[in-house]
Chains A and B, each alone.
Chain A
Amino acid sequence: MTEPATEAIAQQQSTGSLDARGDVGDARSLWSDAWRAMRRNPMFWISATMIAVFILMSVFPQLFTSTDPARAILERSREKPSSEAWFGRNIQGYDIYARCIYGARASILVGLLTTISVVLVGGAVGVFAGYKGGWVDSLLSRIGDVFFAIPLLLGAIIVLVSLPRSTNYWFIILKVVLALTVLGWPSIARLMRSSVIQVKPNDYVQAARALGASPWRVIRSHILPNALAPVIVVSTINLGGYIAAEATLSFLGIGLQSPAISWGIDISSAIVGLRTTPHMLLFPSLFLSLAVLAFILLGDVVRDALDPKNR
């Protein structure tokens, strides 16, 4: 934009900028500005609603269907969608609609748990490395590089295969979460580290340290509020990626296995019958894609809202 127009606008609003890491006050106004921008964005409401529905689905699948997803009616195998079975039935004669509803749990669990553990591990390492600096920083950064050098899906496959086999649902879920965390933490650690290094030299942080505030207090009240925004954006988008990764691992037969219910497993088994019964593939794919989409969309919206250039 040109000179006077920007000036005129600049006069009207005090901008809270991601780059202007002034103080915690800025961080707060940054969030309230972002919230105001998000509220007006229909995409925010769409993605938030979709996420809410998927989470509800994973906690209380009974709310959405009274059909037992594990009840196979073999003689009705591959039945087309009908009023009885809305999405039709798959090869084993399972109700696809019920399978789609119950399949949400695995995806949402893996997505949320992986994101939480990646943020905790990566965040802790990043903050520690950035705050300590020196050889601690160098060492941790090099370790991060080592993990970063292994492509996510490739590494996750290896971790999964090397862990003990089991058919226990929760054990496999945690295995997948562990595999994705092992490979996923360095990205958040890098992000956190650079945020800390950016904020640390600021006068108010140095002043707090000089006044004898404990490292934890300095980190919690001065560094985290400023560093959090990019981490939240990246984590939200990554969450969608983790859901896709879980489904991919199930598809490859390395993640969850039948009789567990997962979109990935259903898609995998539906591919065989793609030519004659595309509905078997369509519905679980749709659910999976919508779940991934919801989180990526939310991440996009949050990023745009936090970016003062977009207002």
Chain B
Amino acid sequence: MGTYIIRRVLQMIPVLIGATFLIFVMVFALPGDPTDGKCGERPCSPAYIAEFKKEYNLNDNVFLRYAKYTGIWPTEQGGLLQGNLGKNYNGYKVVDDLKERYPTTAKLALVAIVFEVVIGIAAGVLTGVRKGGFLDNLVLVSTLVVISIPIFVIGALGQYFLGVKAGLFPVTVGSNPSFYELLLPGMVLGSLSIAYVSRLTRTNLVENLRADYVRTAIAKGLTRRRAVGVHALRNSLIPVVTFVGYDFGGLLGGAIVTERIFNIQGVGNYIYRGILNRDGMAVVGAVTVLVFVYLVVNLIVDLLYGVLDPRISHD
């Protein structure tokens, strides 16, 4: 197990470097002038541009800039490896900005994941054990509907009906939101995944209910509840865990939309603002951190897979 973790971490490094480099190149190396629109309606003064370019290493080639950014190429202020994500175009440290916003997005993602796991699995089990029943068809149709409605529509509808009309949830979210405030946005963010989790649970459960070991469980004189809820479900949840892990990336993308709709001051909104302001440093910093988190989550899921399924050996 130990060597497996080390190997996986080592494998992660080139992917992380590749992904951050890719983001870096896309944001900085492609056409488009980052000083565009920074000085109001007029073009910026040459002096300002020169200073700007020096500050952000815009005169170096892209590889050198990336090396300086990550800290592989030593600079006095240090780079990503030293925990320095540089300053955004407004002169604030990106790290400080992220520190401020990260807890909010983490909370939001947590609400979404708890929501998708609890409701998704419950719906999957209820429909899986009564395959073809009324509830099964109802859930099947409603998951299809949820899957087909884009998240920003669900967000707007949820905000309107559950927040404004029914008054069940707070409609606006403060700057340091509580879990309660993030309940509705989290549900919106997790809604697409709920549909997938419930369908995945159902499919796997239906398949596992046919498995020989469930028949054994019945032959052992266990209650049907235990045969299904312990023996079949335990096996059915293995792919669900994997899905929740890989889907984490989708959740991060969805966070941009959700935070925008509910005006939540999280990382997603930060990226969105950064993009609108063409603030490359902010965007690269925030996205790099998100990709890092995503890769770490995937690593954890892979390790968890080995724990959940003893047949997978990590030697």
Contact = CB atoms under 8 A, between A and B. Distances in A.
Contact of B256 (A146, A153, A268): A153
B19 A289 contact: no
A59 interface: no
Nearest to A147: B22
B45 interface: no
B150 A151 contact: no
Interface in A255-308: 267-268, 271, 274-275, 278, 281, 285, 288-290, 292-293, 296-297
B253 A153 contact: yes
Contacts of B164: 275
Interface of B is mostly: helix
Interface stretch (B75-83, B95-103, B141-149): B141-149
B214 interface: no
Contacts of B287: 150, 154, 158
A88 B149 CA distance: 22
A1 B152 CA distance: 44
A300 to B, nearest CB: 8
A289 B150 contact: yes
Interface stretch (A71-79, A160-168, A192-200, A205-213): A160-168
Interface stretch (B10-18, B108-116, B231-239): B10-18
Nearest to B246: A148
Contacts of B27: 158, 161-162
B152 A142 contact: no
Interface string A126-157: 00000000000000001101110111111101
B275 A157 contact: yes
- The residue among A152, A155, A247, A254 with the most chain B CB atoms within 10 A of its own CB is A155
Given A151-B252, A153-B254, A274-B160, A248 B30 contact: no
Contacts of B32: 161-165
Given A292-B148, A296-B144, A252 B260 contact: yes
Contacts of A290: 148
Contacts of B249: 150-152, 154
Please tell me the size bucket of the interface on B: 35 or more
A111 interface: no
A142 B153 contact: no
Contacts of B148: 240, 244, 289-290, 292-293, 296
With a 10 A CB-CB cut-off, give which of B15, B164, B252 has the most chain A CB atoms. Answer: B15
Interface stretch (B50-58, B175-183, B288-296, B301-309): B288-296
A152 B160 contact: no
B117 interface: no
Counting chain A CB atoms within 10 Å of each CB, the highest count among B18, B32, B156, B291 belongs to: B156
B150 A244 contact: yes
A149 B160 contact: no
Contacts of A289: 145, 148-150, 153
Contacts of A254: 275
Interface string A239-254: 0100010011001111
B240 interface: no
Given A146-B19, A274-B156, A285-B149, A162 B30 contact: yes
Contacts of A85: none
A203 to B, nearest CB: 29
A290 B148 CA distance: 7
A161 B23 CA distance: 12
A281 B19 contact: no
A86 to B, nearest CB: 20
A267 B256 contact: no
A281 to B, nearest CB: 6
B160 A252 contact: no
A154 B290 contact: yes
Interface of A: 1, 142-143, 145-147, 149-155, 157-159, 161-165, 240, 244, 247-248, 251-254, 267-268, 271, 274-275, 278, 281, 285, 288-290, 292-293, 296-297
Given A154-B256, A158-B23, A252-B272, 16 more contacts: A146-B22, A149-B16, A149-B18, A150-B19, A150-B291, A154-B287, A158-B283, A161-B32, A162-B32, A163-B31, A240-B148, A248-B150, A248-B257, A267-B153, A271-B152, A289-B145
